[in-house]
Structure 1
Amino acid sequence: MINNRNMQSVTIKGTKDGLTLHLDNSSSFEDIVAELKIKLATSYKAQKDEPQLSVNVHTGNRQFSQEEQEKLVSVIEGNHKLVVEKISSNVITLEEADQLLGKSEIKSLAGIVRSGQVLRVPGDLLLIGDVNPGGVIRAGGNVFVIGTIRGSVQAGCNGNEQAVVAGGAITSAQISIADVHITTVTAVPEDQLNLHCAYLDEDHHMQFDRVQVLKDIRPNLTRLEGGI
């Protein structure tokens, strides 16, 4: 027996790509299954010559177990010309949350990346130290080095073309942003105190400039008020 009044555990909406099923957050799984069977039997009973319809199921602010998902698929696809393409929710797993946190946080380290060392971070990196020749940095986000870059540095290694590389000095080094690589960089005078940066312009070309330009070319780089 369905406890929810007016049968609102399941809302079915037709789209140009098929059907979208929205499942009510407050309804029990048993009520959802019971109502789903009734609504599908009433409106989507399989006809001989009808083509299959794709179905996307949205479970709202909760995540069903693997067993419950399999039950939903069985009910939707059984005796109907319906195929479940995706089951999604507003909830993410702990593993997904950890991955998102890793990509969004700034990893801060102090030290020197020496020849033969490879430093990898999923998000942004702030290194207080130098990157020596033969040292390697690979970051999914931006790379900020308070020191001299003489080794190999790649920002946006997962394809983020908005990433930047900034250093106290960028001398003979290998700089990469996404899939654009510069193997030799013209030496910047060691006595020049201004920070320097590398970024990709609108034509997908790598440019080198003073770090002050970042506030204009990458306004979303930081949420801090004011600017550099």
Structure 2
Amino acid sequence: MFDEGIFIKGNKEGINAVINMDKFKDFDEMLENLIERLKTGKKFYKGATLTLTTDLKHINERQMRRLKDILFDEILIKDCIFNDKEEKDGKAFSGIYEGRTKFLRKTVRSGQSINYPGNIVIVGDVNSGAEIFAAGNIIVLGSIRGHVHAGTNGNIKAIIAAFSLQPEVLQIGRFITISPDGDKPSYPEVAKIKDGEIIVEPYVPNKYIY
């Protein structure tokens, strides 16, 4: 049952938490209650995947980063997935924090493959030989050297961004390219579709977050 706007249930898939933001005066009150609830079962949650469902329009980018960091550092979860209660089937993913978002704090190594029907944010690298498939955007806080495919559902508005963009194969929707030879820039880059082709340009803060 709901306890002050928070419902938590564990299963073989991990932990499911549903939050009703209308029950709290602000984000800080919600966060305090959520962490208090999770700490009571911390030994069971360590290394688990947490799926958090709420109305994401009430949580901004800074707050989401703060929530994610606390879940990783204090509750010791392995993965974190954000679901938007307002999301409708077939809705396009146009921003990093729109729709479902899966956070991974690890390096994806050669031979590993990740497939998710939403956005994927990786705090780590995507090594050569690794594969990432996302219906939404792919954001890597590290280097991309493997195969990355955003917009697997045909969404050509998806983007792929990384601190170092050196993919073996990069695909958005039906469009595909490979990383050119030569020197790599020392700044973050974003790949997107423009005029029917994939272009790569320097990352500009706030330009791609709606």
Distance 2:103 2:199 in 1: 25
Partner of 2:172: 177
Q: For 1:141 and 1:181, how far apart are their aligned partners in 2?
A: 16
Larger RCO (alpha carbons 8 Å, 6+ apart): 2
How far 1:197 sits from its partner (Å)?
A: 1.0
Alpha-carbon distance between aligned partners in 1 of 2:130 and 2:117, rounded to the nearest angstrom:
18
Instruction: Give CA-to-partner distance per residue, 1:178-213, whole Å, 9 cap, x none.
Output: 0001133345537x1x21110000x21110111118
The change in CA–CA distance for 1:195 and 1:188 in structure 2 (over 3 A counts) is farther
| Residues in 1 aligned to 2:206 and 2:181: alpha-carbon distance in whole angstroms | 20
State the identity %.
30
Q: Which has the larger radius of gyration?
A: 1
Please name the residue that 1:11 is paired with.
none
Match of 2:137 among 138, 142, 145: 142
Counterpart position of 2:100:
105
In the TM superposition, structure 1's runs of 4+ consecutive aligned residues that sit over 2 Å from their partners are: 97-101, 183-190
What's 1:22 paired with? none
Q: Which residue in the other structure is 1:212 paired with?
A: 204
Give unmatched runs, 5+ long, in structure 2: 1-86, 94-98
CA distance in 2, matches of 1:113, 1:122: 18
Question: What TM-score results when the alignment is normalised by the length of structure 2?
Answer: 0.51
RMSD over equivalenced CA pairs, Å? 2.6
AA aligned to 1:199 is: K
Shift of 1:113: 1.0
What's 1:152 paired with?
Answer: 147
Spell out, residue by residue over 1:76-133, the C-alpha distance to the aligned partner (whole angstroms, 9 max, x if none). xxxxxxxxxxxxxxxxxxxxx79679x7121111111111111011111110010001
